[in-house]
Amino acid sequence: MQRERVVVTGMGVISPVGSGLENFWAGLTSGRSAVGPVTRFDASPFSTRIAAEVHDFDPLKYLEKKEIRHMDRFVQLAIGAAQDAYDDAGLSDLDPDRAGVSVGTGIGGMETLTDQHETLLSRGPGRVNPFFIPKMIGNIAGGQVAMRFNLQGPNVTLVTACASSGSALGDAMRAIQFGEADVMLAGGTEAVLLPISFAGFCAMKAMSTRNDDPEHASRPFDQERDGFVMGEGAGFLVLESLTHAKNRGARIYAELIGYGRSADAYHVVEPHPEGRGAAQAMRRAIHDAGIKPEEVDYINAHGTSTMKGDLAETLAIKDVFGDHAYQLAVSSTKSSTGHLLGAAGAVEMIASILALQYQTVPPTVNLEHASPDCDLNYVPNRPQSRDIHVVMSNAFGFGGQNASLIAREYIP
């Protein structure tokens, strides 16, 4: 069976470093970090008191007040990014049966869950909001996006922790390749900057405690890294079969050519120390793309700023690419955006495609003291202009679930 070619024709992003493609790219290439003190709640009792918050999102740009009341913040962010991607692609008059949605989220509507749990305890079960369940459940972002655009084809929500939206893009790619859909609106969303999630990650000692210097807290591959910084946001891409895109005269950003997934089967939160699962996902993506490892020019690394995670990914890259690992550009945009959890994969795929468009690699900011074990070209602090034809984006999650995606410049 001949697979359909899958192209990217629209993108939308809401992120701490900037929302909208132009602002997002300017933020990534400015060499600054969007991390700052937490403003959503009183974080003074917590060991971590910093986060990467989205400050420029106005839900009223996309939704009516009544709709906003019935949607958790993670759904509102999804609607915003999906609408921007839809508009960017210039979509109209879609066959609803041939268009679908694929969404990744690691946690879903935790804001609604915690709010309604407090209502239950303080005011009793009769005061729980009747919209509690349809605001909170993880799949509701996909449901709301489908209803907004009347997309009646495949609709799936994937939860693979921080690999969720990478997995969602891969699933959408497969749906088009194997003829289930002509168009997929695919991406991820997350909004869990809340006391309960902070308490959980602080108890794990997973987050940075560089509270007095927040802009320098997210520092992937740096010797002084001390944990990730939690962020929030959403990213969506319009994926189309090449046939459908050409028939409507769409502008094409790039072609998705490879998807690989794997499991570490090792630990609930730690990566395999040799990066075996990560390496397997990258190998499978390269095989799926039908290319040689030497053809990859840039890797947007998972790079969370944790000691074990960054080292494991570095070892995996060396294992897969051999000597070519030292010719690659490898950067972690989490240094600028923080870690967007389930939304990270989609937002970072957008960053990778923009790197392809601008022939520029966004930097790993705050890389001041290179770790001896992390010795690749991580594009420290300033963007690098390079010839870029093929890009890879990695997304790895708790539970050892891994996703790797490959895109290349569109060749008619």
For residue 137, give Cα distances in angstroms to 57, 142, 159: 22, 10, 12
Task: Give the C-alpha separation, 387 to 309, whole Å.
Answer: 28
162 carries an active-site annotation: yes
The distance of Cα 249 from the centroid of its chain, to the nearest Å, equals 28
What residues have CB less than 8 Å from 197, skipping those under 6 apart? 107, 110, 230
The distance of Cα 114 from the centroid of its chain, to the nearest Å, equals 24
CB atoms within 10 A of CB 239: 30
**Token code pair at residue 399:** 């539970």
Burial string for 368-385 (b: 16+ CB within 10 Å, else e) reads: eeebeebebbbbbeebbe
CA torsion, ordered 393, 339, 131, 138, to nearest 10 deg: 40
Q: What is the DSSP letter of 5?
A: P
Burial string for 162-198 (b: 16+ CB within 10 Å, else e) reads: bbbbbbbbbbbbbbbbeeebbbbbbbbbbbbbbeebb
CB atoms within 10 A of CB 357: 15
Task: Give the C-alpha separation, 105 to 327, whole Å.
Answer: 33
Amino acid at site 358: Y
8, 43, 151, 162: the catalytic one is 162
Catalytic residues: 162
